[in-house]
Amino acid sequence: MNMTLTEAFNNTAYPVGGHGKRNIQVLREALQDVDNNLDSDMYGKGNVIEDFQSEMAEYLGKESAVFFPSGTMAQQIALRIWCDEKGYKQVAYHPLCHLEIHEEDGLKEMHHIEPVLLADQNRLITLEDVQSLQVDISCLLLELPQREIGGQLPDFEELEAISAYCHNKGIKLHLDGARLFEITPYYKKTAAEICALFDSVYVSFYKGIGGIAGAILAGDTEFTTKSKVWKRRHGGDLISLYPYVISSDYYFKQRIDKMVQYYEEAKELAGLYNKCTHTSTLPKEPVSNMFHVHFDMPKEQLEPILLSIYEATSIGLIPTLRDNGETGCYCEVSIGDRYAGVPKEKLKTAFQMLAEKLAN
């Protein structure tokens, strides 16, 4: 059933989420204006990688930055460096942290670091959670926005208080900024202003930026120098990372100024969902380009409804549904370039149909 929904979504003229298809054209476009004679990077050296690293260090307000093939690699390494420095093999993070649920326990299996899970999995980490820690930790990881609960964010004041507390207690603070660019409009802060609260920062180039793959890990030079040694140990110090570097750079420049637009569009789309019965978004009003849509209806019941709407309107609302408990289902929505190209009248019709079908 799920494949059918995904196929139908992909076959609509107007899929609502994301930037577009992840196909070879994405790479070809990024290369289109690059000089054929531009030399490859070589094991982390060379202009193509070093220039981008410098640019991102400046953008994030950090002394130094290192390009990694993946965030999985970058973040394990960040936590390992802080654990080695502080001497405790414990860190704290949210129960739905990427390292806890998507990385096959690499942090535990390779680095022997034990996480303390803070907060209930359905809510954000608070200052009080951090203050209540009963064990010594080397590092606290905060994910902004907290993706698995719809991309929620704490108030900036709470963030500042957590940062100050950690600083006073000698706890390193690491930012999982997989979607950092996407939250600057809500906070009305620059990326550097947000990053200033953290000792180390990871950002990704294939979420809101829409690149092919790749990540940056930033911090002070002592930290990033160590991270390069670990990058080699992990097998991430490739002879050539330029396909990812060039595409990250290209799409960063294409889309960094569109984050406000995506954020406004996400609020608009969430508003349309929230007008339907049996339907609610999390957060109620998005704080980035993403949110979750929850339906108090089994996905087996909802899927035929969605399929009929896609068929009738050529609007693809949702690519895939996940079960949520016994009787509900949900999906993640991320706004990208596609949304602006969706005819508003057709979208309105699709939501009218959805509202009617859900009300029956």
Q: Which residues of this chain interact with its own copies, rule CB under 8 A?
A: 21-28, 31, 34-40, 42, 68-74, 76, 103-106, 109-111, 206, 212-213, 229-230, 232-244, 246
Report in angstroms how near the CB of residue 360 gets to its own copies at its nearest: 36
Q: Closest distance between its own copies and the C-beta of residue 103, in Å? A: 6
Q: How far is the CB of 251 from its own copies (least distance, A)?
A: 13
When the beta carbons of 38 and 340 are compared against its own copies, the nearer one is 38
Nearer to its own copies, 205 or 263 (CB): 205
- Dihedrals phi, psi of 71, to nearest 5 degrees: -70, -35
Question: Closest distance between its own copies and the C-beta of residue 265, in Å?
Answer: 23
Calpha distance 243→205 (Å, rounded): 12
CA 274 remoteness from chain centre = 23
Tokens of 93: 């993070």
Q: How far is the CB of 325 from its own copies (least distance, A)?
A: 26
C-alpha dihedral sign at 177, 272, 2, 338: negative
Token pair belonging to 111: 């680095």
> Which residues pair with residue 290 across a beta bridge?
334
Q: Output phi, psi for 173, to 5 deg.
A: -115, 120
Q: Do 309 and 317 meet the contact criterion of CB atoms below 8 Å apart?
A: yes
* 64 vs 247 by CB, closer to its own copies: 247
CB of 111 to its own copies, least distance (A): 7
Q: If you search the block for the tokens 């200033």, which residue do you land on?
A: 196
Name the residue nearer to its own copies (CB basis): 74 or 119: 74
Least Cα distance to 145 among 200, 102, 96, 111 occurs for: 96
Residue 89 DSSP symbol: S
Chain position carrying tokens 């200052």: 127
Nearer Cβ to its own copies (212/302): 212
Secondary structure of residue 257 in the 3-state scheme: helix
Residue with smaller CB distance to its own copies, 35 or 257: 35
